[in-house]
Structure 1
Amino acid sequence: MSGLKLFRTDTMNSGMTEVVPRLAEIEADVQGLVEAHMETLLGVRFLASEYSTGPVHGGRIDSLGLDENGSPVIVEYKRSTDAAVIHQGLFYLTWLLDHRAEFEHLVRDRFGAMTAAQVLWSGPRLICIAGDFTRYDVHAVREHRRSIDLVRYRLFGSDLLGLETVASVSGGIQGTRRARRRTAAGAADDVQGSSMVELAGAVDEVLLGLGDGVNRVERKQYRAYQRLRNFACLCPPQRSKLLIYLKVDPKGVDLVPGFTRDVSGLGHHGTGDLEVQLRTPRDVERAQDLFRASYAAA
Structure 2
Amino acid sequence: MVGLKLFRTDASKCGVSEVMPRLVEVEADVQGLVEAHMETLLGVRFLASEYGTGTVHKGRIDSLGLDENGSPVIVEYKRGIDAGVINQGLFYLAWLMDHRAEFEHLVRDRLGMRAASQVLWSSPRLICIAGDFTRYDVHAVHEHRRSIDLVRYRLFGSDLLGLESVASGSGGMQVARRVRRQAVARATADVQDASMVELASAVDEALLGLGGGVNRVERKTYRAYQRLRNFACLCPPQRSKLLVYLKVDPKDVDLVPGFTRDVSGLGHHGTGDLEVQLRTPRDVERAQDLFLASYAAA
TM-score normalised by L of structure 2: 0.97
- Matching of residue 238 in structure 1 with residue 238 in structure 2: yes
Letter of the structure 1 residue corresponding to residue 221 of structure 2:
Q
User: Per-residue CA shift, 1:138-175, capped at 9, x if unaligned?
Assistant: 11222210000000000000000000010000136345
Structure 2 distance, partners of 1:181, 1:232, is 18
Counterpart of 1:46 in structure 2 is 46
Structure 1 distance, partners of 2:190, 2:110, is 40
Contact 2:188 2:197 in 1 (8 A): no
Contact 1:184 1:194 in 2 (8 A): no
Counterpart of 1:31 in structure 2 is 31
Contact 1:215 1:226 in 2 (8 A): yes
Structure 1 distance, partners of 2:184, 2:279, is 20
User: 1:179 Cα deviation (Å)?
Assistant: 2.2
Structure 2 distance, partners of 1:8, 1:15, is 9
SS at match of 2:258: coil
Q: Identical aligned pairs, as a percentage?
A: 82
Counterpart of 1:126 in structure 2 is 126
> Residue 176 of structure 2 is aligned with which of 160, 167, 173?
173
Counterpart of 1:256 in structure 2 is 256
Letter of the structure 2 residue corresponding to residue 179 of structure 1:
Q
Range with bigger deviation, 135-144 or 213-222: 135-144
User: 1:178 Cα deviation (Å)?
Assistant: 2.8
User: Per-residue CA shift, 1:29-87, capped at 9, x if unaligned?
Assistant: 00000000000000000000000000111000000000000000000000000011111
Letter of the structure 2 residue corresponding to residue 114 of structure 1:
R
Counterpart of 2:67 in structure 1 is 67
User: 1:2 Cα deviation (Å)?
Assistant: 1.7
Counterpart of 1:100 in structure 2 is 100
Counterpart of 2:189 in structure 1 is 186
Letter of the structure 2 residue corresponding to residue 245 of structure 1:
Y
Counterpart of 1:139 in structure 2 is 139
User: Per-residue CA shift, 1:174-215, capped at 9, x if unaligned?
Assistant: 452132232243257x3xx22111101001111111100001
Structure 2 distance, partners of 1:261, 1:225, is 20
Counterpart of 2:79 in structure 1 is 79
Structure 2 distance, partners of 1:187, 1:27, is 49
Letter of the structure 2 residue corresponding to residue 267 of structure 1:
G
Counterpart of 1:195 in structure 2 is 195
Structure 2 distance, partners of 1:175, 1:217, is 13
Structure 2 distance, partners of 1:12, 1:134, is 42
Q: What pairs with 1:196-235 in structure 2 (closer than 5 Å)? A: 196-235=196-235
SS at match of 1:210: coil
SS at match of 2:180: helix
Structure 2 distance, partners of 1:84, 1:245, is 37
**Residues paired across the two proteins, number:** 295
SS at match of 1:80: coil
Structure 2 distance, partners of 1:243, 1:134, is 40
TM-score normalised by L of structure 1: 0.97
User: Per-residue CA shift, 1:218-251, capped at 9, x if unaligned?
Assistant: 0000000001100000000111000000000001
**Runs (5+) with no aligned partner, structure 2:** none
Aligned-residue CA RMSD (Å): 1.1
User: Per-residue CA shift, 1:62-117, capped at 9, x if unaligned?
Assistant: 00000000000000000000011111100000000000000000000111111101
Structure 1 distance, partners of 2:137, 2:197, is 38
